[in-house]
Structure 1
Amino acid sequence: MVSNAADWKTRARLSPAARAEVAEQFFRRLGSVGSPLVSEASLSELLSRQVQLLLNDLGRGDAAGNGRRSQPSEESLRGAAEFSRRRAFLEIHPTETVRAAGLFYELTLPVLIRETLGEGATPDAALDLALDLHDAVMTQIALGCVGYITFLREKIHSSHRDERRRIARDLHDRVSHEILVALLSTELCDGALTRDPELARTRLKSTEQALREALQVISELSGELRDSTTNTDLERSLKQFLESAIPQDVRVDFAATGDIGGLPAPVAEELYYMLREAIRNALRHSAPRHIRITLRVSGLLVQALVSDDGRGFDVRTASRARHDGLTSLRERSELLGGKARVHSAVGRGTTVGVSIPLVNW
């Protein structure tokens, strides 16, 4: 065994038996604490491969002469990105990876010291080994977090793209239809003006009604495009949306407390989109008679609730089906460091809750 702080890096890191020991203890402990990183076979397999690649990365920085303790290999970089994407797809937060990394460090360091330094290790050699392992682990954490954030940003971009497509679809299906009806009615008027003035007046009335409805739809859609929180506060934007979106036969209660206008612009903007989507989903899918919206800023936390008394749904079934609305809601909130939750049951309405900490804004 070696005791010099530099010599251990020239030796084989761990024997196959020691590697197997580390992996077995690591996965057994993850299972005992119920880590979601080992609850799905494909993710667990990726994690197992990444553990071996991480051990291979030990000492590569100094060997490459770049002044870094740990330099991940190309294979390790690709593995970290793949693991991160899979974890994000399964909606597992990066904090689970941080917890697992701490556990891995705790289990691996004693085995590394025993296998590479032995009983005669000097404090400098043990410290050097501990720092090298720490650097390798932290490099993996950083890679995983960057990959997760990239995944979420792509999903947010996808949500915005879907929103634009929805507006384009409404323009085509609703506005174009009403204008087409108006044009057809106008054409029919040509022959009726002299032959049947009364019929012509009736058709002109239909034309007028169709154009008014088209104008109303255009007004609603332009309002949605205009109503962001960039130039006004969240409370006002929500009220404007409610005025244009809520049918007359649906009662809505809206209450806001705290410094809503003082919310950071990125938080207010995303929260507006999340609440608007929750309200729209309630109207589209739940057929509610009553919708309640509450918005509260208290200390360093903003909380929002959208509740309805509509038909409700089975949340577990919707989650397994990876319902786009629920997924987008969770991803938007996690990107802001917050959480979203959905409570519903068939025949008992739905409540959507969002909480976002403001400590980092």
Structure 2
Amino acid sequence: MVVGNDALRRTAAEVLERRRQPILAAYRQRLAAASDDLAAAADLIDSYTTQADVLVREALAELRGAPTDPLSTPPPTVCADAVELHPRECFRAVIALADIVLADALEQMCGQPNQSAVLALVADALTRTTLTRLLDSSSRYAAGLMNEVHQAQIAERSLIARELHDRLGHSLSAAYRNLEAHELAQERRNEDVDRRVVIARESLHDAVGYLRVLIADLRLSQPLGSLDEALANFLSTVETGGTRLHTEINGDESWVPPEVLDEVFLVVREALRNAVAHADARVIRAVVDITPHELRATVADDGVGFDPATARDGSGMRAMAERAAAVGGRLAVRAAGRQGVSVELVVPLLAVGAGVGR
């Protein structure tokens, strides 16, 4: 007699449900008897057993319902107290669980009608749930490694920033102050200041400014949280003279991956800094438009302008272009004689989101 598939699935679920506790007990005994470090860690044994129970319950749900498409299944939830393990260890644990489940089911169904079909259904349900769990475990483990790398980079950048500030920054500032004091002393005695001293002081002033920018960039290692706030904080530290500065953010910043938002801020900040320092403008305007598929940032001024062809070798312009390229975007600089300058950054968010994620 041929039994319907629904009836076979119910039979398989009944067998697995009835034997769930004995299976978990056998699994725990097997873990405790293992000869590696796992046997010495009670918390790991508890975590493995808890996760095994979750897998068996998910296999039961699979048997009692219609098989789901793995591509449409959301990632499984993880217990808050679960211990993160190397994917290889998870795979070993899953194999051990599968051995116990199938051996127990085979023993329970021995000599029963449709034995092979029921065992196949149990194996299929367990395979689906365990593979999903293994994939999730591997993803979490890889994410953890990437986070460790990121934290190491943050620590290294912070160290470099401290060394630059404490050593080079101190020396440059001291040299600048001494030259400034020498220049003032000469003026008080009504003596001409050596032009070479003036040039040296101006060069040191520029060097200190660039050093501060470099230190700020090195310390910008955490996601901004808000582009609007970051720009406002930057503008609060800028001496603009008679220049009016306006910033405008349109759209939802949550559409932009944090890594991209950081780079956008650095590009916009550099463009604003250049405009303030060199444009001699009455108005500088920064506008960032964000849509689900694109971010477009424009910094425009009504200043004296410049020839873009002669400025491309500048470190600031080159850095902005490199940051744009790093997130899959493009940078365009437009200048028409003395009609001001426009710097535009365009980043396609869909392509970025597929590679970076949020």
The TM-score with structure 2 as length reference comes to: 0.44
Q: Which has the larger radius of gyration?
A: 2
TM-score normalised to the size of structure 1? Answer: 0.44
